[in-house]
A and B are shown apart, each in its own frame.
Chain A
Amino acid sequence: MKGTNLGEFEELVLLTIAALVNEAYSVGICDELTKRTGRSVKLGVVHAVLNRLEEKGLVKSKLGEATSVRGGKRKRYYTITSAGKAGLLKAKDVRDQLWSIIPDLTLKHI
């Protein structure tokens, strides 16, 4: 089915959501990705990806409690759905399989 395949960045975002557990909201994800990947991740891109993932049903979101920071605006927290989990596992599976068939010597000499 078209659209169930995860793009590279989608996969990263999805993984970050899973990793951050209950603290996964847009800015948080953005910061985490910047920290882990070392590249500057734009909020607009993350926002668009989150929106797309939610449309695909891979994540779901709900608004948190209002706090005094952020001008009193609530955060939208994302959690991974079972479909999301399946997608991630499938992606990992594909990678693991590919890794497993690489002969040890191939990478050593590069």
Chain B
Amino acid sequence: MSSEQELIRLAQVGDSDAFCVLAEAYERRIYSLAFHFCRDRQDAEDLSQEVWLKAYSAVANFRFESNFYTWLRKIAINCFLNHRRAVASKYPHEQVSEDSANERPAHSWEASFHNQLVIDRVMQALSDVTAQQRLIFLLKHQEGLTYEEISRSLGCSVGTVKKSVARTIAKLRERLGANEEPEKYISCAAAGILS
């Protein structure tokens, strides 16, 4: 029995410390997904912690039929969709705050001006598309799900998934200037990121 399975079994009988160890292994991925989905640090923390609380209350029903992270990601997607519905009912036209979208975090993870420039532009591009298109792009590009898996998770057609990905890539190209001078700009930006 692997240590992850052992931790899951301990969590299933109510051991919160074991669940915290599990959470430590995946919390950055879940937080990252939440942050790119809602584009706000505080919302991302609330949303990602809500995912963990729901996972803890449902871990007793985990039957080891899939990978733990796959199961966790399903809970995260449901939380994100619920969050999107709540935001949509609160703000019918989804007023995106430019301040929050362009908010530059006060952490030290932006190592250079180039890095931050590219990250800001990617975030700006992601804020230009709808929440669903953004989530589809993140699930495809960051999580590596197939079109079919995404369509099943979100309850939409494969065509919608493809269009969403194409639309988001078009926005990214527009924001990164890839349409005008692709080789020059992207290679410069990528060098900045990688440095």
Whether A and B are associated in the same complex: the answer reads: no
